[in-house]
Amino acid sequence: MFLATTKQRLAQLLRLCVLWRFALLASIAVILFLATTAGPLPVPSAPSDKVNHLIAFLELTLLVRLGWPQLKPLYFVPLLLGFGMLIEIVQATLPYRDFSMADVAADAAGIAVGMLIWPWLQKFSAQY
């Protein structure tokens, strides 16, 4: 009984589009801040910059999908990749950062992983 109730509550949470839209905006702001800040920050991160990119864009992809579940990937995937490219262009102008196409590739990998996870999340939220 407890497990069924917990699953139902989690499914209800996954359907709160407004919450996920707010979380997306907050994530974009934090990612922009982290991408343009110099020096180490007291933020947990992976040992590899590429893993950090993958995780960030996996998160962004899932937040877009949760915020706009009916939106087709054709509309948001190019925007997410453009955001990754924009970050790299901005970093190229900073004296303490570098432009890296490998980072954009890691962003694309994060988007791809998010797209692979989405059907499971969608099925789970619809099931309960």
Whether the Cβ atoms of residue 6 and residue 128 lie closer than 8 Å to each other: no
- The tokens of 128 are what? 């309960």
- Residue 107 confidence (pLDDT): 98
Whether the Cβ atoms of residue 119 and residue 66 lie closer than 8 Å to each other: no
The CA–CA distances, whole Å, from 5 to 2, 69, 77 equal: 5, 23, 34
- Residue 128 confidence (pLDDT): 66
Q: What is the pLDDT along the chain (128 residues), one digit of tens a residue?
A: 555 688 888 888 888 999 999 999 999 999 999 999 987 776 777 788 899 999 999 999 999 999 999 999 999 999 999 999 999 999 999 999 999 999 999 999 999 999 999 999 888 877 76
The CA–CA distances, whole Å, from 110 to 20, 21, 48, 126 equal: 18, 19, 14, 24
What is the residue range of 30's domain? 2-127
- Residue 47 confidence (pLDDT): 81
Distance CA 23, CA 32 (A): 14
Is the pTM here over 0.75, yes or no? yes
Domains in the chain, number: 1
Note every long-range contact of 16-23, with CB atoms under 8 Å and residues 24 or more positions apart, other chains counting: 17/66, 17/67, 17/68, 17/69, 18/67, 20/63, 20/66, 20/67, 21/63, 21/67, 21/68, 23/63, 23/67
